[in-house]
Amino acid sequence: MRRLVMMLMPLMLVACESQNSEPTAAPAAVVSTDWDHIGFDAKEQRHSPLDLINTENVGELGIAWFKDLPDARGQEATPIVVDGKLYISTAWSKVFAYDAKTGEELWSYDPGVAGEKAVDACCDVVNRGVAINRGKLYFGTIDGRLIALDAITGARLWETQTTDNSKPYTITGAPRVVKNMVIIGNGGAEFGVRGYVSAYDTRSGSLKWRFYTVPNAEGKADGAASDEIFEKAAAATWGDGEWRESGGGGTVWDSIVYDEELDQLYFGVGNGNPWNHGLRSGGVGDNLFLSSIVAVNPDTGKYLWHYQETPAETWDYTATQPIIQAEMAIDGKMRKVLYHAPKNGFFFVIDRLDGTLISAEPFVEGINWATGYDLETGRPIENPDARFYKTGEPFIAIPGALGAHNWHPMSYNPKTGLVYIPAQQIPQGYEVPVSDIDKARERLGFNVGIGWAIGQLPDDKEVYKAAVAATTGQLVAFNPKTGKVEWSVDYPAAWNGGTMTTAGNLVFQGTSTGFFKAYSADKGAELLSLPMQSGIVSAPSTYMIDGEQYVAFLTSKGGAFPLVAGVAGGVTRQVPNIPRLVVLKLGGKAKLPALPEQSDVVWDPPQQTGTPEQVAAGKGLYGRNCLVCHGDSAVGNGFTPDLRVSGVLGDKQAWASVVTGGTLKQHGMVGFGSQLSAAQVENIRHYVVERSHWTKEHLPDMTAPTAR
Ligand code: CA
């Protein structure tokens, strides 16, 4: 049986040519507006009615003002604008307020998250945004707090711990305010927690209700809003397995939307823990409510309906991706629907009334875990080979765990009827754990129940090239009515930014290769491509003040993909990572400062003192303990260090003090002394020394340090 299966496989992509657009009509009367909700309004279409910037003049956009941000980690927030003030949250859960016209900083708030908490964050210490309501600002912190501030002064009003901080819970998503409640979820399903959504009183911060997404280990009532549905039905969808120990996962780490028309609250539920359904649930049951959209009564948190997109989830196919509410004519009748493009690669149209599946069509090419959906049963038609824990054979899944679409927000333009999806191709191999290292359950790091050998590329230059070529991104304009891709734009790399669309017939998107772009919304003609010095992962927003329309977004590369990708990051490895808020307007004249000079690194690997057996042992340990933050082959990414040129690589004692002693814990590198022996730590060093020599010899283009 093949053990070394590459994480990323060459893949034929069907290129969809973008078409030239026709000039559009003159702009209509301008509507004055803020961007006062993370998704523009409760429907979260990320569509602005502003059209002062349009297809005729978008090429005249320049920088109105910009602000450098303190931390060179992922910046994923959408800027919120209310009454002339612009609010962002940043890495490490900090909040900043600016004058939206001039860029003057009004206040900032640092909740003081301890650096070592980063080890519990699967996907960087990011924060996707704040909620503003009636003069108060709400946001979550990476250590699980929900905080309310005075939006004018930045003074703290209240703070509540929403999680058990002895467990690896995190918060990265934005809260939503519904009636007199603030709704928040959490993350941590890679490490092993039990997911839930909570509602807190906006005035006092006291808990109003909680809905767990998976049953508790004892099968008893929690006194939670979800008790009844678990007693009636959901608990029976779980078999015996590790979920009882791990918590089962099912975290609600991003999308929560309120339906003002139907007075229902919807949220997307994440993957199971461990990923491996065979270990998690004995290979038995659908495991509600993993990978589902769940509707609850917002006043009580009581269950209304659910639709499970990936039953018996086993590939990290979360349903946490942004949910858009829309209306759609079906057989001559208008239906209230949800649009959803989760990791698993299918675009779902779901009836908001009762969760009925209306359609599920692929929005990317090459999906191989399922061939489609049976609309009668609402279930996927699976490829049996995809369930690696049943076949006992490795499987290269498309999409992989990073998804055909991840958290990067999509947008919907009611005029074109198209949804603009930041899509990507990142295949991934899955197999059952074979080594004792992968079988073990640890306090630190991922506990997902798969073999990590499969996550590392073999030493073959052609395979490396193929992995880079197979890892790409696309802007997909998807038509929910036809279930087809109307137009698309191919990008050379994955993990591009979220999208925004406007009444100016425009779609905006930043790229992981460092450009901020605009396209015509109807045809996909590129109308703007501004170099921004840094990769971009966030989504933009737009607003108008004193007759001028502005477009705001954050730059930085960051989040899960740059952490784990290693060589498959391709061209993005050399793109700088500059955390910055940038605001554009027509005729904007501000200039970004010159990039600092890159100093040449002398590539001088220390002598290899380990045996081939020790290097091999170190590779397994690296995959299990280090890979998800330092990347495949330890090649670095621009915001965690390139270990191949680490200053302590040649010094056994210094290396051990960093890896086990926690000397860099304020940066997130906690001590692994409790789960790695001295010999294991030394074997990891031997492996990284080997990587340093190997890349120098075989991949000289990979020896340049990643841009910082
Ligand atoms: Ca996950």
Ligand 1 mean position, distance from CA 440 (Å): 19
- CA of 448 relative to ligand 1 center, distance in Å: 9
Q: Which residue has the higher pLDDT, 392 or 218?
A: 392
- Per-residue pLDDT, averaged over 642-650, amounts to 89
- Predicted local confidence at residue 479, as pLDDT: 98
Cβ neighbours, 10 Å, residue 599: 7
The residue-averaged pLDDT of 75-81 equals: 98
Q: How far is the CA of 322 from the centre of ligand 1 (A)?
A: 15
**Ligand 1 centroid – CA 316 distance (Å):** 5
Q: Is the pLDDT of residue 540 over 50?
A: yes
73 token code pair: 């980690």
Q: By percentage, how much of the chain surpasses pLDDT 90? A: 77
Provide the pLDDT confidence category of residue 571 given band limits of 50, 70 and 90.
confident
Mean pLDDT rounded to a whole number for the chain: 91
Query: Both ends of the chain: CA-CA distance in Å?
Result: 41
DSSP-derived pairing of the beta strands 47-48 and 499-502: parallel
Kindly state the tokens that stand for 454: 């499969």
Query: What is the CA(3)–ligand 1 centre distance, in A?
Result: 24
Q: What DSSP designation does 249 have?
A: B
Alpha helices in 516-611 (DSSP H): 560-565
| Pairwise CA distance, residues 671 & 669, whole Å | 7
Q: Which residues contact 25 (CB under 8 A, 6 or more apart)?
A: none
Instruction: Identify the CATH number of the domain defined by range 91-126+129-320.
Output: 2.140.10.10
Q: Which of 281, 292, 182 is nearest to 226 (CA)?
A: 292
pLDDT at residue 641, rounded to an integer = 83
Quote the CA–CA distance of 492 and 230 in Å, as a whole number: 45
User: Is the model more confident about 625 or about 196?
Assistant: 196
Confidence (pLDDT) at 8: 36
Q: What is the pLDDT of residue 10?
A: 31
Q: Residue 705's pLDDT is what?
A: 56
Report the predicted TM-score, pTM, of the whole model to 2 decimal places.
0.94
Cα of 315 vs centre of ligand 1, distance in Å, is 9
Tell me how far apart the alpha carbons of residues 559 and 408 are, in angstroms, rounded to a whole number.
Answer: 10
Distance 317 CA to ligand 1 centre (A): 7
The active-site residue out of 51, 316, 632, 642 is 316
CA-wise closest residue to 570 among 635, 618, 505, 626? 635
What pLDDT, on a 0 to 100 scale, did the predictor assign at position 645? 86
- Helix 652-661, helix 678-698: angle, nearest 10: 120
pLDDT category at 708 given cuts 50, 70, 90 is: very low
481 CA to centre of ligand 1 in angstroms? 30
Of 220, 229, 198, 199, the C-alpha closest to 303 is: 229
Candidates 162, 184, 331, 328; CA nearest to 254 is 184
Q: Which CATH class is domain 612-702?
A: mainly alpha
What ranges do the domains of the chain cover?
A: 91-126+129-320, 612-702
Element (H, E) at 461: helix 461-470
316 tagged catalytic: yes
* Cα distances (angstroms) measured from residue 550 to each of 161, 372, 587, 647: 36, 41, 11, 44
Q: Retrieve residue 542's tokens.
A: 């737009």
Query: What gap in Å lies between CA 252 and CA 467, rounded to an integer?
Result: 31
The rounded Å distance from CA 291 to ligand 1 centre is: 10
Ligand 1 center from residue 189 Cα (angstroms): 6
| pLDDT tens figures, 46-76 | 999 999 999 999 999 999 999 999 998 999 9
Mean pLDDT of 427-445: 89
Query: Looking at the predicted structure, is the pLDDT value of residue 14 above 80?
Result: no
DSSP 420: E
Reading phi first (left if > 0) and then psi (alpha if -120 to 50, else beta), residue 434 is in alpha
Helix (H) or strand (E) segment spanning residue 512: none
Nearest one of 670, 682, 508, 495 to 570, comparing CA atoms: 495
Residue corresponding to tokens 């959906």: 373
